[in-house]
Every structure is written in C-alpha cells, then in structure tokens.
Amino acid sequence: MRRFSSRSSDFLPTEYTNIKPFLPSLPPPPVDSDGYPVGPDVLAALFPSGMIQHEITLEPRVPIPVEVLDAYRVYRPSPLIRAVELERVLETPAHIYYKYEGMNPAGSHKSNTALPQAYFAAKDGITRITTETGAGQWGSALSQACSRFGLDLDVFMVRASFLQKPLRKTFINMHGGRVYASPSDRTKSGRSFLEKDSQHPGSLGIAISEAVEAVLSEQNSCYSLGSVSDAVCLHQSIIGQESILQMEEMGEYPTEIIGCTGGGSNFAGIAFPFMEKMLTGGKHIRFTAVEPTACPTLTEGKLRYDFGDASGLTPKYMMYTLGAGFIPPPIHAGGLRYHGMAPLVSHLVKLGIVNPIAYAQKKTLNAGKEFTRVEGILPAPESTHAVAAAIDSAVEARESGEKKIILFNLSGHGYLDLAAYENG
C-alpha cells in the first residue's frame, strides 16, 4: 500500500482543462445593470487581454504559457496523500485521499491563478494590480506572483480578517504589496460603508467594490480576482489533472470528490477534470461542495442575476447568491465569506451534478484539529470544511460497509491561522 504518490514532473500539466465544452448547457452570460449581455469590451476596462481570452474561451484545452509553467515548477506537482492514519482512527473501510495545495510559497491553491494573472498583466505592460482578499490567502499568493513578474500590488482585505490574521499582512508586505482594511477611506465605496458603521467588519463584496473602483480611477492598473470567474476555474484545473494521474498511479479512482466552497475555485480545480471524464462516459462520482452555515450561498441562496460586488460596479452574473448586500458574520474561514458563487459551480448545482452541504464553524475546526493530530498537517480554516465532510463520508462507509474512495482538496495550510483554532 502506498501512502504518497510520486511527485514526478510528468504529472505537471502543460494545458488547462476547460469544463465548458463538455457541459450539457452553459450558464447564461453576464449582463449589465439594465439586463443586456456584457461582452469582452466591458471586461477590458478591468482585466489584461490574456485573462479575458481565458474567461471567454470554449476550447477544451488551453496551453499554459511557458513563463507560468516555469513558475509552477517551483511547487508543482503538489502531493496526493492517502490518509491512512485517519482511516485507522475512524475504523472505516473507506480509502481517504487528499490533494495538498499548501506546499507552495504562499501556502494555498491561490498561486495557481495568481501566477498567470500577474504574467498576463506584465505582458500587457501593466505596472500595478489591485485586488481584494478575504482571509488573506489570495492576497498572499498574488503578492508573491507580482513580486516574480515585477508588478506593484494594492490589496483591500476584509476588515474582520485584517484584524484576525495580521501575519497575512506581514507576508504581503514582505513581497512588496500594500494592504488596506476594507471598508477603507481610500475609495468612495469604502467611505460610504464606514459612514454607516465606523467599525464595519467588511465583506468580500465590499472589498471587490473598493478594488474595482480603484482600478477604474488609476492609470496603467488592472484588477485581479482569486475565485468565481471562468478563467480562475480554468487555471485551477491543474489540481484535478494532476490528481487523475496520481490516483492512477495509486491504483484507485474516486467515488466521491469533496471541496470547500466560498467563490468556488478550489472546488472547481479538484472537481472539473474528473467531471469531464464522468460527462464523457467515465465512472460516476459524487461531487460534494461544502460551505459554512454562516454564509450558505449554495444551500440557502437563490439562483438569479446579481452583482459580484456590494456597490454594483461589476456586471451581474447568474449565480447562487445571498444578495450583494449580505454581510456574513466574521467567521475564521474568511475565504468562504462571499455572497455569491462561481457561475459554473452554480450551474452544476442547478443541473444536479454538484451536491452542496453546509457546516458550522465549530464542527469544521474540530475536524481540522483531529486531522492535525492524526495526519500531521494543519488545514486552513476554509479547508477544514472539506476535512469534516470527508470524515462524515468515511463514517457513513463504516456504518454501511460501503467501499468508498474519497478524494478531497486540502486547499491550503493553516499555520498563519492558529488563532482561529484557539479562538474559534
């Protein structure tokens, strides 16, 4: 029995996998505030040209630029690990595997899209990127990517996480980025929320509004986002592509794939390449998306057109949403505190291909503690949602005697989030 797959460079993809050509239907296109479809020309005010092409492409395979591949080789392929100790403790017949995305310089899956986005900006001659971040994983990843490609970076960080996770700010500053607690006094959007509440905890929707407003008012600047968009889901497909080859090496194939969901990127990354195989005649897989009960977008939200930000500066997307004005409580899994969901993930829930569930913070952090004690890796608070669901599924297998092969995405480490475990 092997616990670790090899980390051969042969497992590193040279192309991204695009799920869209394999779906029975596509989500409706984004629209403006009057309901008219939005074309690439509107996106050009925010994004570099390469990012727009990745957003709209319907090609099943999209080449990864050589410069991005070189950056990936620093940390990819990421390891696939069988959780044999967790299986033993749970006394389950299930086999549990996890794809560990916490071994790159920024500590999470976010680098998989930060690097191509920074590359595209630099290629277009852009000198500054402005973005938002929830728990700080995205801001950390983008700061490292901007440092590699010679770009300045401004980050609007949700105030609740800015206060909870000061070491994320330290990491971003180390790579030359600047971090502002959002809502801030730097933008009209931020000031409008501070006028209502000077201690406003913030939200990803508000931070997006500030980042977009800043880009629209600056020269030679672009916006970058860490989740939700089709292009980001495309970039994250390298996770699932590697996993397919690594599972083959281990001699098994998953019956269930699990990922935490906030905006949908890490779930898409692990799930979409396997989903392509299933939709083209492969084995059936149960796809489970796990979100926090404090921000239950998929389980309690409505599927409708909504703005991606709190101030209505972005186009409207067809997605499951709690409303652009929704302010979630300041849970420690700050990366999952988004009012909406990736249109592609939302569409797959609508089609019945993805099964959403919601867990409370105490349950997930307890699962993270157990996983740490048994497996020796501390998951990020976001990733503990996937851990908790994998444990529940393995316990169900123990009670039913069913042979399950469970694969989940451990999307990042929690070593900068120890306060969450102490205070959560």
pLDDT of 1 reads: 63
User: How far apart (Å, rounded) are the C-alpha atoms in residues 399 and 204?
Assistant: 40
| Average pLDDT score over the chain | 94
Across 52-56, 126-130, 164-168, 371-375, least confident range: 164-168
User: How far apart (Å, rounded) are the C-alpha atoms in residues 342 and 353?
Assistant: 15
User: How far apart (Å, rounded) are the C-alpha atoms in residues 340 and 326?
Assistant: 10
Reading the block at residue 424, the tokens are 């959560």
Structural fold of domain 9-14+63-107+229-423:
Rossmann fold (3.40.50)
pLDDT of 61 reads: 97
Residue carrying structure tokens 């299933």: 278
Q: Give the confidence band of 3 by pLDDT, cuts at 50, 70, 90.
A: confident
∠260-263-268 over CA atoms, to 5°?
60
Q: Which H or E element spans position 89?
A: helix 84-90
∠47-270-408 over CA atoms, to 5°?
140
pLDDT of 112 reads: 98
Dihedral in degrees, nearest 10, Cα atoms 69, 279, 227, 342: 160
Rounded to 5 degrees, what are φ and ψ at 273?
A: -65, -40
Buried b (16+ CB within 10 A) or exposed e, 1-29: eeeebebeeebbbeebbbbbeebeeebee
Residue carrying structure tokens 């409505």: 302
Across 97-111, 149-163, 330-344, 407-421, least confident range: 330-344
What is the tens place of the pLDDT at every residue in 37-92?
Answer: 988 888 888 999 999 999 999 999 999 999 999 999 999 999 999 999 999 999 99
pLDDT of 25 reads: 96
User: How far apart (Å, rounded) are the C-alpha atoms in residues 366 and 378?
Assistant: 12
Q: What is the DSSP string of 50-71?
A: HHHHHHH---SEEEPPHHHHHH
Buried b (16+ CB within 10 A) or exposed e, 41-53: eebeebbbebbbe
Q: Residue 166 above 80 pLDDT? A: yes
Q: Give the confidence band of 343 by pLDDT, cuts at 50, 70, 90.
A: very high
User: E strands within 52-159?
Assistant: 61-63, 80-82, 95-100, 128-133, 152-158
Q: Give the confidence band of 204 by pLDDT, cuts at 50, 70, 90.
A: confident
Reading the block at residue 297, the tokens are 């977008």
Q: Give the confidence band of 110 by pLDDT, cuts at 50, 70, 90.
A: very high
What is the tens place of the pLDDT at every residue in 351-397?
Answer: 999 999 999 999 999 999 999 999 999 999 999 999 999 999 999 99
What is the tens place of the pLDDT at every residue in 286-330?
Answer: 999 999 999 999 999 999 999 998 888 889 999 999 999 888 887
pLDDT of 295 reads: 94
User: How far apart (Å, rounded) are the C-alpha atoms in residues 293 and 365?
Assistant: 13
pLDDT of 424 reads: 64
* Residue count (the chain): 424
Q: Residue 333 above 80 pLDDT? A: no
Buried b (16+ CB within 10 A) or exposed e, 251-273: eeebbbbbbbbbbbbbbbbbbbb
User: How far apart (Å, rounded) are the C-alpha atoms in residues 185 and 212?
Assistant: 15
pLDDT of 327 reads: 85
* Pairing mode, strands 256-260 and 405-410: parallel
